[in-house]
Amino acid sequence: MSAQERYQRRHRIRASLREFVLPPIDDGLVLGRESPIGHVAVGRALELLSVRSFGHVEIEDDVIGDILVRSSILRKISEDQIRQFVLAEIKPVMGAEEIIQLHLQVEVDLEVER
C-alpha cells in the first residue's frame, strides 16, 4: 500500500453566524490614546451609519484618549460619572492602542414626595 493510499484528507468547515448590526457600537466606545482611529473619524462614521447620536466625553489621561457615549445615556448620567467610571473600571484592563466597546446598563430610580 502506498503512502497516498494510507492517508485520507478530510476537511470540515464550521461557522457561527449572527446578524451584523449597524452601527457596530452599542452604547459607547473607549478609545485608547494610541488607537488607530480617533473620536472625530468614529463620530463621522457613526453619523453615516446610525440614527442614534453619540456624545464625546473629553478626558485627559495617559491611556485613554476619548470616550464616545450614546446621547440617551448622557441624559441619564453625567459626563463626569462616565469619566470616573471609565478611569476606575476600564482603564486598568485596557492598553493605549485598544478600542473598547461599552455595553452599559443605566438605571435611574426616582422618588417623589408630595
The per-residue pLDDT for range 17-76, each reduced to its tens digit, is: 776 666 678 899 999 999 999 999 988 888 888 888 999 999 999 999 999 999 999 999
Is 12 domain-assigned?
A: no
Is 83 domain-assigned?
A: yes
Is 114 domain-assigned?
A: no
Strands ordered across the beta sheet of 28-32: 54-57, 64-70, 28-32, 99-102
Is 32 domain-assigned?
A: yes
Q: Calculate mean pLDDT across residues 67-96.
A: 95
Helices (H), 7-112: 39-49, 71-74, 79-85
Is 52 domain-assigned?
A: yes
Is 11 domain-assigned?
A: no
Q: Calculate mean pLDDT across residues 4-13.
A: 80
The residue range of the domain holding 47 is 28-102
Is 38 domain-assigned?
A: yes
Is 87 domain-assigned?
A: yes
| pLDDT higher than 80, residue 79 | yes
Name the pairing type of β-strands 28-32 and 99-102: antiparallel
- pTM of this prediction? 0.76
Total count of domains within the chain? 1
